[in-house]
A and B are shown apart, each in its own frame.
Chain A
Amino acid sequence: MNTSHRLRLPVIAAAVTASLVAAGCGSGSSSGPGGGSGAAASAPGITSTEILIGSHQPLTGPAAPGYSEIAPAANAYFQYVNAHGGVNGLKIKYKYLDDGYDPSKTVSVVHQLVLQDNVFSIFNGLGTPTHLAVVKYLNASKVPDVFIASGCNCWNNPAAYPYTFGWQLDYVREGKILGAYLKQHFAGKKIGYFYQNDEFGQDGVKGLDFEIPHSQVVSRQSYVPTNVNVGPQASALKASGAQVVVAFSIPAFTALLKLASLKVGWNPTFVVSNVGTDPTTLAGLLEAFAKKGGANVSGNQLTQGIITDGYLPTLGDTGNSWIALFKKVHDTYDAKAPLDGNVLYGEAVAYTFVQAMLKAGKNPTRAGLVKAISSGLPQGAAVAPYDYSATGHGGMMGGYIGVIKNGAVVQQGPVWTTDTTPTGAVTQFTGTQPAAPASGMP
């Protein structure tokens, strides 16, 4: 293709060498302070002053709205801990990189974190397709992969993924808990499903089907996040006569469904997965329409009465000691972000990590962290216990049913726990949530 034969070979060779060496030298040594190989310390990522952990997060791209708040909130809690003595004197340094919800980029940033920055552990990697791209690599490299931000059941696999731990209530359990509630309180009513066409929605529907009799389900409509026109789905649900709609949808699509239902003149009872009902986010999405949807109403009017579930205390429960603690941390270290469900999530999972690190003891090792979690962790901010044992790496086992009233979720009834099997019962949890420690440190 080139016409300059004589120049080509040396130019190519020189160019390749120069550019790769330049790139290599540019940030060949680890870019993070406290990185390097942790020569004198007990494990990679641990130095005499700090613990370096990493994560992949969607800071840009389709999943960024909402989810991009989680990592800064977790970092806020870590800063609080650092200011109060750290973990056995070590400060936590949290390096989270953007993967734009693209699995190829996830692989790239995780390789960077593990190979170049030598992180001690990967913490709270977000997204199911994104994390699936790296879970085998992390386990093969024996890097702890803790408290993944995804409700997929696939993380609960100690045989194949001994270093991987889930954290949040998984979608199948969530579906079962919602389904059991519907079976009890909406017997005989026609139910329609509206779910995201990926493992989040499909796992949720699986859980629902374990509990709700099939004869009650009159319509199943799915959506894809790339297509915002959910008018057809709303029309179909209305035509089926559904009186209740169960939605496993993200907040944007919960809002879109609500708007579409206004447009087609259909007014069912909305039951929505915890993922899609952060009241602050929902009200924000609906506020512009509320003014036109009826008389002078606020965004909260349109979210009134939505039934949902939760596995952390609700923000409306201002008397709860955990909410008070997390609000204090938010106001000090993350004040620019709105105090909503994503911030609560980030701080709660950071709290759990600190619990685990404290249990791993002084001079923590990677194997030590894994052992600390597998031997069980106290409940912390979660409303139900964790499923952490030698045979279970699953995460929380239950949640409560709530209703949105005046812009906040209000708990209805007790906490329910269950498992992920088709026949496992949904039982009431008789324990209580421990109070938050006065110092804010586990």
Chain B
Amino acid sequence: MTLLRHLAAAVAVGAVVWALSVQLNAFRDFQMAQVAVYVVAIAGLSLLIGLSGQISLGHGAFMAVGAYTTALLMLHLNWPIWAVFPASAAVTALAGAVVGLAAARLHGPYLAGATLMLAVALPSLASQFPGVLGGDQGLSVTVVPPAALGATFPPTRWLAWVCALAALIALVILANLGRSRVGRNWRAIRDDPVAAALSGLNVAALRVLAFIVSAACAGLAGSMLAVTTSLVSPGSFTLSLSIALLAGAVLGGLGTLTGALWGALVVVLVPTYVTDVATSHGLSGGVAANIPIAAYGVVLIVVMLVFPYGIQGGLRRLAGQFLPSSPTRLGPPARRAPTGERTEDLDSPYRRPPVSEHQEEGTS
């Protein structure tokens, strides 16, 4: 039943995307492909953080793994797209397993620190092995629309179709996973690892599995990025990418797929829009180029202060006010615990664990 419902939703969205890709101009098609890339990456990260409660600042590194796998497979073995996408996801899943195994013992800021270093260090491998990995100049990837579509078919529309299809398939899988037993087990280890372990769940294995799935998504996204960008080089996988993914996940609303879509739209569209506004006001190049950066920072701060549950959470709250019969509840009203907001929503990643971290550790 769940699968059918998700497939129906996917088909509906797919139809909308197809209609848009034909209606909008070629550049918008390119942006749609970009949004698809980020939706997949952010959904994977959102799953990791929102469902399983682990943090990663290094998902840009996983995207790099997927992208380089794609480039190498297409360059040396001439694989077609439909084979390359799953293969890249699989290879990155392997990398995710390795990282997850190392990370299973870490929590909180220590995991954040390790993944941060991963994001910084992994792209430098390309310069270390310039022969195979192309060094700073990178490896080029060429994708052309199939001849059956005609010689005048805009290449960006083909990119939009391919990426949107891959993204929809990935999202359906993620949605199913989220509502399955594995998804419930993840929520359990997120909320209270001790209780979960006492109930017989293998906490470490579940954590590693979350990393594997999340990395596979990032790998697929990296593969899609390679195809849309047509060049894979370390300069595309800096720390800023990992930070943008994290920001998109939290801004959009953790643990929700729709939130991943909002996050992707913000990450792809807001910087270009702000730059356009700045340059159209005649500000000089250097200042105008820094305004989107400052604005991005302001957006992050303000949204977090005003909408702590992200855009999706904010929308749900609004919907809850306008549709009193909605089954969604964000928690019992007007009862504030001393530690701050506490919600009864069992699905929410925003529930604070019952035992305060402060009291756990005795320090000198």
Answer yes or no: A and B touching, Cβ < 8 Å.
yes
Residue A292 at the B interface, CB < 8 A?
no
CB of A24 within 8 A of CB of B28, answer yes
Among A31, A108, A116, A226, point to the contact of B25 (Cβ < 8 A).
Answer: A116
Among B138, B155, B183, point to the contact of A103 (Cβ < 8 A).
Answer: B138
> Contacts A72-B284, A133-B233, A224-B127: A111 and B30 contacting too (C-beta < 8 A)?
yes
Residue B286 at the A interface, CB < 8 A?
yes
Chain A positions within 8 Å of B290 at CB level:
60
Among B27, B31, B50, B238, point to the contact of A102 (Cβ < 8 A).
Answer: B238
Q: Scoring B residues 154 to 166 as 1 if CB is less than 8 Å from chain A, else 0, what string do you get?
A: 0110000000000
| Residues of B138-190 whose CB lies within 8 A of A | 138, 140, 142, 155-156, 175, 178-179, 183
Closest Cβ neighbor of A224 among chain B residues: B127
| Residues of B1-35 whose CB lies within 8 A of A | 5, 8-9, 12-13, 16-17, 20, 23-28, 30-32, 34
Chain B positions within 8 Å of A68 at CB level:
285-286, 289
CB of B124 within 8 A of CB of A224, answer yes
> Contacts A72-B284, A130-B235, A132-B231: A111 and B27 contacting too (C-beta < 8 A)?
yes
CB of B136 within 8 A of CB of A198, answer yes
Tell me, in angstroms, the Cα distance from A27 to B284 when the chains sit together. 21
CB of B27 within 8 A of CB of A136, answer no
Chain A positions within 8 Å of B257 at CB level:
1-2
> Contacts A20-B32, A60-B290, A198-B136: A104 and B179 contacting too (C-beta < 8 A)?
no
Among B229, B261, B289, B347, point to the contact of A104 (Cβ < 8 A).
Answer: B229
How close is B21's CB to chain A, nearest CB, in angstroms? 9
Chain A positions within 8 Å of B183 at CB level:
1
Among B28, B127, B155, point to the contact of A23 (Cβ < 8 A).
Answer: B28
| Residues of A176-202 whose CB lies within 8 A of B | 197-199
Tell me, in angstroms, the Cα distance from A140 to B13 when the chains sit together. 32
CB of A103 within 8 A of CB of B229, answer yes
Closest Cβ neighbor of A140 among chain B residues: B155
CB of B236 within 8 A of CB of A102, answer yes
Residue B319 at the A interface, CB < 8 A?
yes
CB of B20 within 8 A of CB of A21, answer yes
How close is B5's CB to chain A, nearest CB, in angstroms? 7
Among B137, B255, B319, point to the contact of A132 (Cβ < 8 A).
Answer: B137
Tell me, in angstroms, the Cα distance from A59 to B291 when the chains sit together. 11
How close is A208's CB to chain B, nearest CB, in angstroms? 18
Chain B positions within 8 Å of A28 at CB level:
24-25, 28
User: Most chain-A Cβ atoms within 10 A of its Cβ — which of B12, B236, B265?
Assistant: B236
Residue A250 at the B interface, CB < 8 A?
no
Residue B83 at the A interface, CB < 8 A?
no
> Contacts A1-B256, A15-B261, A98-B275: A108 and B20 contacting too (C-beta < 8 A)?
no
Residue A4 at the B interface, CB < 8 A?
yes
Closest Cβ neighbor of A336 among chain B residues: B284
Closest Cβ neighbor of B46 among chain A residues: A1
Overall SS of chain B's interface: helix
Chain B positions within 8 Å of A20 at CB level:
20, 24, 28, 32
Tell me, in angstroms, the Cα distance from A76 to B16 when the chains sit together. 46
Chain A positions within 8 Å of B20 at CB level:
17, 20-21, 24
Q: Scoring A residues 91 to 124 as 1 if CB is less than 8 Å from chain B, else 0, what string do you get?
A: 0000011100111100110011001100000000
How close is B113's CB to chain A, nearest CB, in angstroms? 18
Tell me, in angstroms, the Cα distance from A136 to B31 when the chains sit together. 19
CB of B30 within 8 A of CB of A2, answer no
Tell me, in angstroms, the Cα distance from A111 to B179 when the chains sit together. 39
Closest Cβ neighbor of B123 among chain A residues: A226
Residue B135 at the A interface, CB < 8 A?
yes
Residue A214 at the B interface, CB < 8 A?
no
Closest Cβ neighbor of A69 among chain B residues: B286
CB of B231 within 8 A of CB of A107, answer yes
CB of B233 within 8 A of CB of A103, answer yes
How close is A99's CB to chain B, nearest CB, in angstroms? 10
CB of B256 within 8 A of CB of A16, answer no
Tell me, in angstroms, the Cα distance from A9 to B34 when the chains sit together. 23
Closest Cβ neighbor of B34 among chain A residues: A108
> Contacts A115-B26, A128-B137: A102 and B235 contacting too (C-beta < 8 A)?
yes
Residue B129 at the A interface, CB < 8 A?
no
CB of B17 within 8 A of CB of A16, answer yes
CB of B136 within 8 A of CB of A16, answer no
Q: Scoring B residues 117 to 138 as 1 if CB is less than 8 Å from chain A, else 0, what string do you get?
A: 0000000100100000001111
CB of B138 within 8 A of CB of A108, answer no
| Residues of A1-51 whose CB lies within 8 A of B | 1-9, 11-13, 15-17, 19-21, 23-24, 26-28, 31
How close is B179's CB to chain A, nearest CB, in angstroms? 7
Tell me, in angstroms, the Cα distance from A214 to B335 when the chains sit together. 79
Closest Cβ neighbor of B20 among chain A residues: A20
CB of A101 within 8 A of CB of B289, answer no
Q: Scoring B residues 265 to 304 as 1 if CB is less than 8 Å from chain A, else 0, what string do you get?
A: 1000100110110001000111011100100000000000
> Contacts A4-B328, A116-B25: A137 and B230 contacting too (C-beta < 8 A)?
yes
Which 5 residue pairs are nearest across A and B when measured between Cβ atoms?
A59-B289, A133-B231, A115-B27, A198-B136, A1-B178
Please name 19 pairs of A and B residues whose Cβ atoms are closer than 8 Å in the assembled complex, sorted by A: A4-B316, A5-B5, A7-B323, A7-B328, A8-B9, A11-B258, A12-B12, A12-B258, A16-B17, A16-B261, A21-B20, A24-B24, A59-B288, A102-B238, A104-B225, A107-B230, A108-B30, A115-B26, A336-B284
A residues bordering B, Cβ < 8 Å?
1-9, 11-13, 15-17, 19-21, 23-24, 26-28, 31, 57, 59-60, 64, 68, 71-72, 96-98, 101-104, 107-108, 111-112, 115-116, 128-130, 132-133, 136-137, 140, 197-199, 224, 226, 336
